[in-house]
């Protein structure tokens, strides 16, 4: 199988598996307890927290372990808006945020907040003029992702933060950095952010484990309440093994980032060039110079992405289109629609995303198979019609 | 293999696999609206996926929701507003399963599509025929009556030879999770009893009057879409005896009610006949079925109408009238 869907999820790095195993199989302790076994778990958890803080450029006390990216987004957007209700009512998000941000924003709208959805450009970048217009001194939270999950474009967070300081001094800035970790120095890119979401399984950690960085002094109303764990922001016994796995994967990813990014960018570029040579009429989505190294978002005029993905799967190649909905169908992408892509082009587009586990063999297999499938699909579609 | 998540298509997939076919399961996502409880809800997709996994078959979901809205739901609403009675399941079969799904399957390189309908595709005298399913009580040939010969040639209906009891027994033998699952009976995108509000939510309607057959105004209504020819319940008038809707005039926003006798006709005009197989020369004797599980009644095909042997109630315009010879489908038309 050739796995070209790393933006959906990655394999767990061997180092993370190894670090997690003793915590799953041997140590029974609850980190909140008072005995030796509890202390062992607590130590593992706090070491993981420190490792995460090191990579993300924050203090250990600013690391809140969550159950994944969507949970972090929910806590950040709803928690910060509700905590600032007295100082304003404006919530501003980009139109192509992950649903983990958009759905909470819509929830807040139902609670009386004003929600502004900032348009994005055809290049896949948040429209800064539109953002400036949406911000005002009643804005309490703005959320702009660091890297878009479908087209892989890197958003200008520095500019976003500057606009916030100028036009919305009361607002906190949240960024969903879930797709950024393998490719970008997140500590540097999120310097100006008050809240930062990451998710373990996008960089070789376990699924269902994430982190929300909550800078000191940023108040949040918690979503999950109970025993006061994670500074009262996320009650419940922490998944210690998950935290250790996430921290280990994050450390390994950080150490190898430059080397891996360089290698994967070359693979991605070879894949793109090979496809273009075989299928000169293909088009790509998202401005090439502003994308992360692992993302190739490509469309084949006249081809139905759903049919092509099925044929790729039959040939042992895993790709994706749109965003997964609960029934497993590929809905028409709201991300591509927000970018102004014509509907027909959006339905003809697929995402091939590479990651640390990708190899030359994956690219070779895809190049060997995909052009022929596109051609067959076009020929047969013509003969059916 | 179109897998709805029900027991028939589950068993159909198993049978095809065991016959040695190269089978791929597909569930269509057709409707994501409020009534997401029909044949394509998330729970049903999950049942289909699990059955496919149990049978060792690949499974995919195709999202045809936009097309479904345009090809099935919008015409459904428009028909009611025009005073007609549509048959959305037949439209869905023609435009979705034997339309987009078949086109896509052929484009991908499959030879045929299969469904769990209780009907049979057989070759007789060198020609393909669509016959009623072996289980007379569960026969679904009516909803396939408006397919064409090219579609039939690409169709497999593996459970058509079985009774429903056989199907459930086979599912139980295989340990399929859908073995005891209840059947879906309603239109998948409208909850039972909510057709009126569904139509009202998607279309503007004019109020009008209700009259008797001799023109006397006996009531008012808020829109003709609530009425179907032959309807007896929910008329909102009390005249001391059973009354039926005998005519719906959408242009005048007038609903005519009368006695059962007023509904009876010697012949039923038809339009848009699609011939599926066999010979259908004017003057030939046929059996005409006007409802999915109704009786097939003897009649003579007159070209443009069927002449009943005994007078029958008028069929609401837009309803499918399937024509049979014995248990072979000759074709399907719409009541005019």
Residues B12 and B73 in one domain: yes
Q: How far apart are CA B93 and CA B155, in angstroms?
A: 12
Judge whether B60 is closer than 8 Å to chain A, CB to CB.
Answer: yes
- B60–A332 C-beta distance less than 8 A: no
Q: How far apart are CA A110 and CA A37, in angstroms?
A: 46
Token pair of B224 as six digits: 């003709």
Contacts of A349 (CB under 8 A, 6+ apart): A285, A297, A298, A299, A305, A321, A333, A336, A341
Q: What is the mean pLDDT of residues A245-250?
A: 98
Residues B231 and B250 in one domain: yes
Contact B297, B286 (CB under 8 A): no
Query: Residue A75: beta bridge partners?
Result: none
Please count the structural domains in chain B.
3
The domain boundary residue, chosen from B258, B273, B291? B258
- Domain A14-252 has what CATH class? alpha beta
Residues B168 and B81 in one domain: yes
- CB-nearest to B109 from A306, A328, A380 is A380
Token pair of A113 as six digits: 């907040």
Q: What ipTM, to 2 d.p.?
A: 0.85
Helix (H), strand (E) at residue A298: strand A295-299
User: Which residues in chain A have their CB less than 8 angstroms from residue B107's CB?
Assistant: 304, 307, 377, 380-381, 384
Residues B246 and B304 in one domain: no
- pLDDT at position B196 is 86
Interval A202-233: pLDDT, tens: 999 999 999 999 999 999 999 999 999 999 99
Domain that includes residue B31, residue range: 7-116+158-174
Question: Which of the residue ranges A308-312, B73-77, B218-222 would you say has the lowest mean pLDDT?
Answer: B218-222
Contact A200, A209 (CB under 8 A): yes
**Strand blocks (E) in chain A:** 2-3, 63-66, 90-94, 114-118, 139-143, 172-176, 195-199, 210-214, 283-284, 295-299, 317-318, 349-353
Side-chain half-sphere CA neighbours of B229 within 13 A: 25
In a domain, B82, yes or no: yes
Three-class SS state of A322: coil
pLDDT band at A112 (very low <50, low <70, confident <90, very high): very high
Mean pLDDT score across all residues of chain B:
91
- pLDDT at position B234 is 78
- CATH number reported for the structural domain that contains residue B23 in this entry: 3.40.50.620
pLDDT band at B195 (very low <50, low <70, confident <90, very high): confident
Residue of A312, A324, A329 for testing the chain B interface, max B β-carbons within 10 Å: A329
Q: Sign of the CA dihedral A241, A245, A250, A252?
A: positive
Query: Residue A64: beta bridge partners?
Result: A212
- B63–A381 C-beta distance less than 8 A: no
User: Which residues in chain B have their CB less than 8 angstroms from residue A315's CB?
Assistant: none
Task: Please say if the pLDDT value at position A385 is more than 70.
Answer: no
First to last CA, chain B: 34
Judge whether B34 is closer than 8 Å to chain A, CB to CB.
Answer: no
Give the angle subtended at the CA of A306 by the CAs of B26 and A182, to the nearest 5°: 120
Question: Which of the residue ranges A126-140, B65-79, B108-122, B229-243 would you say has the lowest mean pLDDT?
Answer: B229-243
Q: What is the mean pLDDT of residues A115-125?
A: 98
- pLDDT at position A310 is 96
Q: Would you kindly state where each structural domain of chain A is located, as residue ranges?
A: 2-8+257-384, 14-252
Q: How far apart are CA A284 and CA B123, in angstroms?
A: 49
* Interface subset of B 136-155, CB within 8 angstroms of A: none
- pLDDT at position B37 is 47
Residues B209 and B271 in one domain: no
In a domain, B318, yes or no: yes
Residues B224 and B314 in one domain: no
Interval B94-153: pLDDT, tens: 999 999 999 999 999 999 999 999 999 999 888 899 999 999 999 999 999 999 999 999
pLDDT band at A331 (very low <50, low <70, confident <90, very high): low
pLDDT band at A323 (very low <50, low <70, confident <90, very high): low
Interval B6-52: pLDDT, tens: 999 999 999 999 999 999 999 998 886 544 444 456 778 889 999 99
CA torsion, points A187, A188, A194, A200, in degrees to nearest 10? -30
- CATH number reported for the structural domain that contains residue B286 in this entry: 2.40.30.10
Q: How far apart are CA B91 and CA B68, in angstroms?
A: 9
- Domain A2-8+257-384 has what CATH class? alpha beta
- CATH number reported for the structural domain that contains residue B223 in this entry: 2.30.30.280
- pLDDT at position B33 is 53
- B29–A327 C-beta distance less than 8 A: yes
Task: Please say if the pLDDT value at position A327 is more than 90.
Answer: no
- pLDDT at position B35 is 44
Contacts of A229 (CB under 8 A, 6+ apart): A32, A235, A236, A237, A238
- CB-nearest to B106 from A304, A327, A384 is A384
Contact A104, A73 (CB under 8 A): yes
Residues B18 and B78 in one domain: yes
Interval B303-331: pLDDT, tens: 899 999 999 999 999 999 999 999 999 99
């Amino acid at each position: 199988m050739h796995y070209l869907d790393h933006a959906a999820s990655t394999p767990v790095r061997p180092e993370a598996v190894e670090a997690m195993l003793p915590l799953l199989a041997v140590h029974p302790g609850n980190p909140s307890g008072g005995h030796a076994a509890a202390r062992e778990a607590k130590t593992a958890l706090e070491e993981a927290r420190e490792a995460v803080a090191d990579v993300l450029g924050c203090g250990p006390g600013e690391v809140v372990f969550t159950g994944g990216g969507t949970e972090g987004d929910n806590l950040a957007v709803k928690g910060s808006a509700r905590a600032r209700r007295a100082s304003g009512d404006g919530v501003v998000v980009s139109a192509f945020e992950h649903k983990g941000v958009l759905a909470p924003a819509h929830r807040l709208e139902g609670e009386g907040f004003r929600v502004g959805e900032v348009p994005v450009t055809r290049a896949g970048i948040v429209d800064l003029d539109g953002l400036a217009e949406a911000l005002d001194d009643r804005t309490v939270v703005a959320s702009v992702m660091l890297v878009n999950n479908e087209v892989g474009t890197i958003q200008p967070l520095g500019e976003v933060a500057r606009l916030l300081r100028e036009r919305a001094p009361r607002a906190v800035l949240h960024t969903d950095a879930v797709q950024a970790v393998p490719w970008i120095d997140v500590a540097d890119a999120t310097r100006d952010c008050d809240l930062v979401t990451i998710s373990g399984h996008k960089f070789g950690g376990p699924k269902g484990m994430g982190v929300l960085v909550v800078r000191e002094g940023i108040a949040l109303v918690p979503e999950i309440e109970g025993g006061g764990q994670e500074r009262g922001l996320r009650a419940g016994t922490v998944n210690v093994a998950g935290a250790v796995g996430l921290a280990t994967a994050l450390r390994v990813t950080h150490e190898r980032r430059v080397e891996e990014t360089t290698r994967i960018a070359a693979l991605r570029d070879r894949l793109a060039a090979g496809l273009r040579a075989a299928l000169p009429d293909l088009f790509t989505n998202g401005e090439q110079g502003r994308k992360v190294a692992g993302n190739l978002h490509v469309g084949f005029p006249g081809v139905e992405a759903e049919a092509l993905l099925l044929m790729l799967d039959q040939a042992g190649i895993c790709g994706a289109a749109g965003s997964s909905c609960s029934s497993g169908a590929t809905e028409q992408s709201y991300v591509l629609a927000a970018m102004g892509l014509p509907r027909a082009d959006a339905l003809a587009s697929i995402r091939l995303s590479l990651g640390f586990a990708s190899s030359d063999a994956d690219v070779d297999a895809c190049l060997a198979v995909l052009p022929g499938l596109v051609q067959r699909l076009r020929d047969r579609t013509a003969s059916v019609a | 293999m179109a897998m709805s998540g029900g027991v028939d298509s589950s068993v159909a997939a198993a049978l095809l696999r065991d016959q040695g076919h190269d089978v791929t399961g597909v569930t269509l996502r057709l409707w994501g609206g409020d009534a997401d409880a029909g044949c394509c809800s998330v729970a049903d997709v999950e049942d289909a996926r699990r059955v496919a996994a149990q049978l060792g078959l690949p499974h995919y979901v195709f999202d045809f929701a936009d097309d479904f809205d345009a090809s099935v739901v919008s015409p459904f609403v428009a028909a009611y507003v025009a005073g007609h009675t549509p048959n959305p399941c037949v439209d869905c079969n023609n435009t979705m399963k034997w339309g987009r799904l078949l086109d896509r399957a052929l484009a991908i390189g499959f030879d045929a599509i299969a469904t769990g309908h209780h009907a049979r595709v057989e070759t007789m005298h060198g020609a393909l025929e669509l016959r009623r399913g072996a289980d007379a009580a569960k026969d679904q040939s009516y909803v396939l009556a408006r397919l064409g010969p090219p579609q039939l040639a690409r169709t497999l209906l593996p459970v058509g030879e079985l009774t429903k009891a056989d199907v459930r027994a086979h599912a139980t033998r295989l340990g399929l999770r859908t073995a005891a699952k209840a059947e879906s009976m309603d239109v998948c995108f409208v909850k039972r009893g909510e057709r009126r509000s569904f139509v009202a939510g998607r279309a503007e309607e004019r109020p009008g009057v209700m009259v008797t057959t001799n023109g006397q105004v006996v009531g008012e209504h808020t829109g003709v879409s609530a009425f179907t020819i032959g309807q007896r319940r929910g008329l909102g008038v009390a005249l001391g005896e059973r009354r039926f809707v005998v005519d719906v005039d959408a242009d005048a926003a007038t609903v005519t009610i009368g006695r059962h006798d007023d509904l009876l006709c010697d012949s039923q005009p038809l339009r848009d006949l699609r011939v599926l197989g066999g010979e259908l020369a004017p003057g030939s004797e046929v059996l005409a079925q006007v409802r999915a599980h109704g009786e097939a009644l003897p009649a003579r095909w007159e070209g443009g109408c069927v002449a009943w042997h005994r007078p029958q109630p008028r069929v609401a315009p837009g309803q499918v009238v399937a024509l049979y010879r014995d248990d072979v489908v000759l074709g399907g038309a719409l009541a005019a």
